[in-house]
Amino acid sequence: MKKQFYIGAAYYPELWEKEEIGRDIARCKEAGVNVLRIGEFSWSELEPKEGEYRLDWLKEVVDTLHKNGISTVLCTPSATPPRWLMTKYPETRMVMHDLIRADVSSRCHTCKTSPVMREKNRAIVTRLAEAFAHHPGVIGWQIDNEIFPYTAGCYCENCKAAFRKWLKEKFGTISALNRAWGMARWSLTYDDFADIEPPYPRQWRHPSLKKAWHDFQCAQIKSYVEEQADILHAFGCRNVGTNMMTTNALSYYALNEKLDVAQLNHYESAENLSGTVFSYDFVRCVKDKPFWIMETQANWNGSEYAEGGYRPAGECYANTWLPFARGAEMNLFWLFRSHPCGHEIGHGALYSASGRPFRTTKEIARAAEEITSCGNFLENTCISSQIALHYSSSAFNLFDAAPLIKGLSYRTMVLEGYHAAFRHFNTDVIDTAHALDGYKVVLSPFLACADENGFCERVLSWVKAGGTWIVGPMSDIMDGNVRRYTSAPYSFLEEAAGVLTAAQEPVANDVFRAQWEDGSPCTIGTCFDGYICREGTKSLAAYTCGELAGLSVVCERKVGKGAIVLVGSVLSAADLVRLVRRAGCAPAAEASENVTLTARSGRTEGIIAVETQGTQGYVCVEGAFRERISGRTAEGRVPLAPYEVLVLEKIR
């Protein structure tokens, strides 16, 4: 069976009259939309009174869409329980950090610990699963909506009690917790788990407590999602997922452990179109299979007002294509038709509230037609990466609790300081639980805790088998409780890399300089660790001035068939590319910096090139290629117009 690629949008049929839904179906065909995501906020229409279920209207919509060749992704509505439920059972509403219970005023305001909330979720999800598990028009499911510990989670008495129980199960005794967190400092020692209060904002709270509270809230969310997934799976529902942003503060790997398809929401600015590739490279690896984009903007973002900036001509077209180039099988926009009223009245869409298309709607339709025409190339090829870049949930949360450098943003550092350097390479972005087999190079910058998921043993075995591990700076510097190591700066890196760490400067300044062993400049910045190389370890680059002069900033130790390259500062993009090329990795092709390249291989092979900055660009290919969109033959230096997409298939 030929693989289907999906382009669509979120749609809210509960807002529209039946006649208008019919007109919107015609608009779907006009825009190239072949799937709609529905039901996520419709609980009050599905269960207007307690125990009174009305699903006929939803079934009629799904039936009608299916008859018109439009598939459905159905959502569970647990992000917005009806007012009657949250009024009758106030414990289902989360308590904010100021200890005021949330009003029934928007969305995502439920307590994930509440037994009543869990019970009511199970009931509505069961009804939906019974009705739609085997409907031919339903191709997948979305659980809840952008689920996350908003306002740092719920502070109700149920959550506090569950938090204390969770801590007791983790540490066993209060003495063990006190030791792990170092609570003797400032005389903060707890006498009993019952003494522990959540870290209320606007007070200076212990970093270990902050991280533990966040970890607990995430554990509750994981249970909350999996409880719904278990019901859907029990009825035979397929392609079950939950739509998330890629902050990784809520671990993608943990939350998707029992789900079927990794789902992503993103709303990058037009200026950061290339930055979306980071999210694609990450979410693609969570399940090691094609992923679904559940939300991205068609034009502008907004709430009661529009924001997010103007989308230049062609940008939405490129934004439609990019996820498919990078391994997606679905790209949904938020939303299909602008809301005529309510909290997000100012948000953009494919169609206005009055049903008029926007300029970007035509760009989406154009991309949809091209993606269909290139479907066999996309189906017969996949993305194979020699490079992996770590993006760790635990590192995100450790640096959130204790950044160590003022203003440090872990996500920004990994995205802009590292991933952006490899825009011409296939790169997998992985968490520490991901397997390392098949990679030539793994980069682990700012991997604060390297002693998790058996990573220490796994990475050293992978290196011995022939891999090159480029690690640092600020990696392996603390455990999962936000505690530094006391016998050495790292838990195992000094020994593994064969160095003595002689200096550590966790600062961002313009004092230090460095050069490679051949005398060429080595550009460094943000944190400066200096190493003395022991026997068997070679300095590749060294500091040339200041108190660090003569110390190594980049050193290498051969281990088995591979190597550990320890890096003591943030390197430039050119220097990072130098290191991965040295390890035997090559880009897909030569191209201008404003062009993102994706090498695709399988039954056929080729390159998808996307211009992401709205300027002229180029790609240089070796040999002859057929450009699948235009049909022309491409050789040598091939120009790209602003936001142009080239699907280049190798001519054998």
With beta carbons less than 8 A apart as the criterion, state whether 607 and 596 touch.
no
What is d(CA 521, CA 121) in angstroms, rounded to the nearest whole number? 59
Surface-to-core class of residue 235, CB atoms within 10 Å of its CB (0-12 exposed, 13-18 middle, 19+ buried): middle
With beta carbons less than 8 A apart as the criterion, state whether 436 and 285 touch.
no
Determine the straight-line distance between the first and last CA of the chain, rounded to whole angstroms: 26
For residue 398, the model assigns a pLDDT of: 97
Surface-to-core class of residue 53, CB atoms within 10 Å of its CB (0-12 exposed, 13-18 middle, 19+ buried): middle
> Mapping DSSP to helix (H, G, I), strand (E, B) and coil, where does residue 461 land?
helix
Give residue 1's pLDDT band: very low, low, confident or very high (50, 70, 90). low
- The total number of residues shown for the chain amounts to 652
Q: What is the pLDDT of residues 230-279, one digit of tens each?
A: 999 999 999 999 999 989 999 999 999 999 999 999 999 889 999 999 99
Per-chain mean pLDDT for the chain: 96
**β-strands 301-302, 306-307: how paired?**
antiparallel
Q: Which residue spans within 120-276 are E strands per DSSP?
A: 138-142, 240-241, 243-244, 263-265
- Residue 556's DSSP bridge partners are 538, 565
- At 109, the amino acid letter reads H
Q: What is the pLDDT of residues 532-578, one digit of tens each?
A: 999 999 999 999 998 999 999 999 999 999 999 999 999 999 999 99
For residue 98, the model assigns a pLDDT of: 86
Q: What is the pLDDT of residues 469-512, one digit of tens each?
A: 999 999 999 999 999 999 999 999 999 999 999 999 988 777 89
Q: Given the structure tokens 């591979």, which residue do they identify?
A: 562
Q: In what order do the strands lie in the sheet with 71-75?
A: 240-241, 138-142, 71-75, 35-38, 6-10, 328-333, 291-295, 263-265, 243-244
For residue 451, the model assigns a pLDDT of: 86
What is d(CA 636, CA 618) in angstroms, rounded to the nearest whole number? 10
State the average pLDDT over residues 284-305: 95
Domains and CATH numbers, the chain: 6-151+220-379 (3.20.20.80), 387-582 (3.40.50.880), 590-650 (2.60.40.1180)
- The H-assigned helical ranges of 40-156 are 43-46, 56-67, 83-88, 115-132
State the average pLDDT over residues 643-651: 98
Q: Given the structure tokens 């950061």, which residue do they identify?
A: 272
Q: What is the pTM of this model?
A: 0.97
Residue 285: CB partners within 8 Å, gap ≥ 6?
428, 429, 430, 434
What is d(CA 100, CA 92) in angstroms, rounded to the nearest whole number? 13
| Phi and psi at residue 388, to the nearest 5° | -125, 140
State the average pLDDT over residues 308-329: 95
446 vs 414, 476, 510, CA distance in Å?
A: 8, 8, 20
